[in-house]
Structures are given as C-alpha cells and as structure tokens.
Amino acid sequence: MTDTAARLLLLLSLLQSRPEWAGPDLAERLGVNVRTVRRDIDRLRELGYPVDATKGPGAAYRLGAGADLPPLLFDGDQAVAVALALQLAPQTVTGSREAAARALTTIRQVMPAGLRHKIDTMQVTSVTNSWEFLAPPVDATALDAVSDAVRRKEVLQFDYAAAEAAAGDAWAPPLRVEPHHLLVWSGRWYLVAWDLDADEWRTFRVDRITPRMRTGLRFSPRTPPAADLAEYVRSQADRGDTADAWECYGEAVLETSASLVARWAPGGAIVEELGPKRCRLTLGAWSWIGLAALFGTFEADFEVIGPPELIDACAELAQRYKAAGSAIRETT
C-alpha cells in the first residue's frame, strides 16, 4: 500500500471517529500540512465519500451522511470490538441471533487474514455460577419499539408483567409513560420513564414490557430524576429475577435504610421501605445457610419474618460463628 493510500485510510478513520475535525488537527494527526489535507479530502470525495467542509481560515471537516456512502472503515481494534459485541448480543436480546451471525460473517469476510484468525479464536460464551441467574433476554421487537419511542420523544403505552401481576392480578390497565432513557445494568435492560398516571419517575425492566400501538403523542423532555442515571437504576428495589426463582427464599426486617439495601442486595432482592432506617428485604439464595449469611452482610440488626427454615439456619449459623470465634481466642 502506498503512503498516500495508507494516509487516506487513516484520514477516513479519523473522520469517522468524531463529528467534526479542524483542518490543522487533521494535519497534525496525519503528519502533513493543511494543503495536503485538502487534497486528501478531495480524493475521498472522488471515491464517493461525502465530506462536508466549512469555509474560511478555520475550516473544519465532517463526514456527511448519505445513501451513497461507501462501507465504513474499521481499524483492527474496532473490528474486534464489533465482532465481540455481535457474539454477545443474542444473549440479551432474543430474535437477534441470526442477524448478528450474518453481520459477523460479513465483517469477517473483509478482514485481513491476521484479524480473521484473531476473531476465530475469540469465541465468546457467557457462563454463570450455579447460584446465579442469567439476565432474562429482551425481545428485539419490544426493544426496538421502546428505543424508537425514546428517540422520537413519544408517549409509550405498554402492558407490564410486574410482580403484582404474578401475585394473581388477572388484568392490569396498560401503562402510559414518557420514555426518557434506556440503559443496561448487570445484563438487564431498563427504561427510565415518567409515569403519566402515577405522576412520578419509574424504572421498568424492558424484558417485562409488551408495547401496544404507537400513540403518536410527543412530549417535552423533563429534568432527569438524577444526574447519574446508572446510579439511579442501581438504587431501585426491583433489579433482578423474582426471589422465588431461587431454591431457598425468605424475608426479614432490617434496621437500616432501604436505599442502602437496594444498592448492595444481590439480584432478585425485593426491598420495601418501612421507615428512614427500616426496611423489609425478600431475598433468595442457593441454601438456607447461604440465605441467612446474606441477611447478615448488611451490618444491621434484623428480625426474620420467615419461613421457619430461615430462622433455623440463622440459629445454626450463629452457633458456627460462635464456635469459630472461640477457636480463634484459644489460639491467640
């Protein structure tokens, strides 16, 4: 490859990396003068890449959008990142496996031999421990409808499979929300939205959302409930699978704040605020002893509500810790 061709590839990669570049900045990155940058920009235009430029001494360049835009250019690191993302996508979004596989095949075909070998040796499989649950997959159609409503700033109407429905409510009216932001935490997709009926901010699990027909109603964005929306989602009580998905589950009242418990409780925790420094925690685990130990990790007094197996496990665990403490004193 000639120096000019290599420089054009680098220039194209730089233009794709951010919305706009000043001419002197491009010249510095390419190791040439501004006049050479202008010539290279003209060469890219001749190849069919629509590069827009502002006029004057402070000229800036940006890669325009258009139906005739040639295929995007990926450097080695970008290609590997895209390939890994395509392998992981079907694990969280149902209905995307075939499309992701076709996209990966397309990218692989145009890779140099060295990169192709690297991708072939990086086969990714997600594995969980026996006491963990995979994040429930999200339907691709539902995710597309929700993300489209966020982008359009359009009121979203949907049915929601919430915990109260699982408890026996045969029917619940559809929810109407102003969708603000989509984010992924711990492998789960969440929607932060303003509930128009409850008149408050809420967080919804996207895997529980079944969108209805588009409303066509636009809204003006509100001030978000927090500057850090990731932290806001982490502070919510219902973040994981339902507690009864575990082999053992129980509940206790803890003498500490619900916000602290909601932040650090493992997936599946259900937290109910009972006061400024008091909350009810429903939790699941792989064994009764394991469950008893989890309740003790919050460094707070607690009262077990049930079931009896959890009460017995707490008593057994107390004896084990007492014996362990006595053994340590005897050896010191």
Q: Which two tokens stand for residue 243?
A: 């507690």
Q: pLDDT digit string (tens) for 130-170?
A: 444 455 677 878 888 898 899 899 999 999 886 444 444 55
Helices 288-295 and 308-331 meet at what angle, rounded to 10? 70
Q: Which of 91, 23, 31, 83 is nearest to 55 (CA)?
A: 23
| Model pLDDT, residue 128 | 44
Please tell me the distance from the alpha carbon of residue 332 to that of residue 316, in angstroms, as a whole number.
Answer: 25
Question: What are the residue boundaries of the structural domains of the chain, listed by start?
Answer: 3-63, 76-120, 138-234, 243-326
**Which pLDDT band, with edges at 50, 70 and 90, does 129 fall under?**
very low
Q: Which fold has domain 3-63?
A: Arc Repressor Mutant, subunit A (1.10.10)
Residue 255 has pLDDT above 90, yes or no: yes
| Model pLDDT, residue 328 | 66
DSSP classification of residue 154: B
Q: Which CATH architecture has domain 138-234?
A: Roll (2.30)
Q: Which fold has domain 243-326?
A: Alpha-Beta Plaits (3.30.70)
DSSP classification of residue 101: H
Taking the whole predicted model, whether its pTM rises above 0.85 is answered as: no
Residue 127 has pLDDT above 60, yes or no: no
Q: Which two tokens stand for residue 132?
A: 């963990």
Cα separation of the two ends of the chain: 72
DSSP classification of residue 271: E
Please tell me the distance from the alpha carbon of residue 225 to that of residue 192, in angstroms, as a whole number.
Answer: 9
Q: What percent of the chain clears pLDDT 70, i.e. is strictly above it?
A: 71
Q: Determine which of 83-97, 235-249, 275-289 has the lowest per-residue pLDDT on average.
A: 235-249
Do the beta carbons of residue 189 and residue 91 sit within 8 Å? Answer: no
Residue with tokens 């895997």: 207
Please tell me the distance from the alpha carbon of residue 179 to that of residue 209, in angstroms, as a whole number.
Answer: 12
Q: pLDDT digit string (tens) for 75-109?
A: 666 766 777 677 666 666 666 677 777 777 777 76
**Which pLDDT band, with edges at 50, 70 and 90, does 331 fall under?**
low
Q: Which of 196, 109, 118, 211 is nearest to 157 (CA)?
A: 211
- Please provide residue 321's backbone torsions phi and psi, each rounded to the nearest 5 degrees: -65, -40
